[in-house]
Amino acid sequence: MSGKQSPGSLSPNVVHIVVVLMAILLIGRPAPLTAEPQPNGTREKQVVVLYSQPRDFPATEMVEQGLMEGLGKENRRSVQLYSEYLDLSRFRDMPQRTALANLLHNRYVGGNIDLVVCVDVPAAYFLMEYGDKLFSGIPIVMCSIPESLSEPLLTSPLKERVSGVLEPAAVSQYLVESALRFKPDTAHAVLIAGSFENDRARSAALRKALAAVTPKVEFTDLTGLGLGDILERVEKLSPDSIIFYSTLFVDGKGHSYVPRNVLRSIAAHTDLPIFGPYESYLGDGIIGGPLISLRLEGRKAGEMALRILRAQPPGDSPFITPDDIALTQYDWRQLQRHNIAERLLPKDSTILFREASLWDLYKRYIIGVVVLLALQTLLIVGLVFNLRQRKKAEAALQDSRSELQTLAGRLISSQEEELSRLSREFHDDYAQRLAALAIETGTLELHSAQLEPAPLRDRIGHIKKQVINLSDDIHALSRELHPAILKDLGLERAINSLCTNFSDREDIPVTCHYEALPENLSPDAALCIYRVIQEGLRNIAKHAHARHVDVFLKGSANRLLATIEDDGAGFEPKCARHTPGIGLASMRERVQYVKGEFTVSSEPGNGTVITLSVPVHRGEDEKAENTAC
**Model confidence at 32: pLDDT above 70:** no
* Reported pTM: 0.58
Rounded mean pLDDT, 362-380: 92
Q: How far apart are CA 569 and CA 332, in angstroms?
A: 96
Confidence at 579, pLDDT banded by 50, 70, 90: low
| SS3 of 493-540 | HHHHHHHHHHHHHHCCCEEEEEECCCCCCCHHHHHHHHHHHHHHHHHH
DSSP run (H or E) holding 337: helix 332-337
Residue 360 CA neighbour count, 13 Å, CB half: 5
Question: How many Å is the Cα radius of gyration of the chain?
Answer: 60
Phi/psi at 442 (5° precision): -65, -40
**Model confidence at 555: pLDDT above 70:** yes
> pLDDT tens, 37-84?
555 556 789 999 999 999 999 999 999 999 999 988 666 668 899 999
Assigned CATH for 7-167 = 3.40.50.2300
**Model confidence at 10: pLDDT above 60:** no
> pLDDT tens, 161-182?
999 999 999 999 999 999 999 9
Q: How far apart are CA 450 and CA 243, in angstroms?
A: 160
Between strands 326-331 and 288-292, the pairing is antiparallel
Highest mean pLDDT among 191-200, 467-476, 531-540: 191-200
**pLDDT of res. 204:** 95
Q: How far apart are the first and last CA of the chain?
A: 87
Query: CA dist 526 to 409, 410, 497, 556, 600, Å?
Result: 15, 17, 14, 15, 20
Phi/psi at 424 (5° precision): -65, -40
| SS3 of 116-175 | EEEECHHHHHHHHHHHHHHCCCCCEEEEEEEHHHHHHHHCCCCCCCEEEEEECCHHHHHH
Rounded mean pLDDT, 385-410: 84
> pLDDT tens, 124-145?
999 999 999 999 999 999 999 9
Q: Per DSSP, what are the bridge partners of residue 176?
A: none
> pLDDT tens, 179-211?
999 999 999 999 999 999 999 999 999 999 999
Ranges of each domain in the chain? 7-167, 170-293+320-357, 358-482, 489-629
Confidence at 91, pLDDT banded by 50, 70, 90: confident
> pLDDT tens, 472-522?
777 666 666 667 777 778 888 889 988 998 998 889 999 999 998 888 888
Fold of 170-293+320-357: Rossmann fold (3.40.50)
**pLDDT of res. 428:** 64
**Model confidence at 367: pLDDT above 80:** yes
Q: How far apart are CA 289 and CA 242, in angstroms?
A: 14
**Model confidence at 349: pLDDT above 80:** yes
Question: Candidates 3.30.460.80, 3.40.50.720, 3.30.565.10, 3.30.470.10; correct CATH number of 489-629?
Answer: 3.30.565.10
Residue predicted with more confidence, 471 or 503: 503
AA letter at 28 = G
Q: How far apart are CA 250 and CA 257, in angstroms?
A: 6
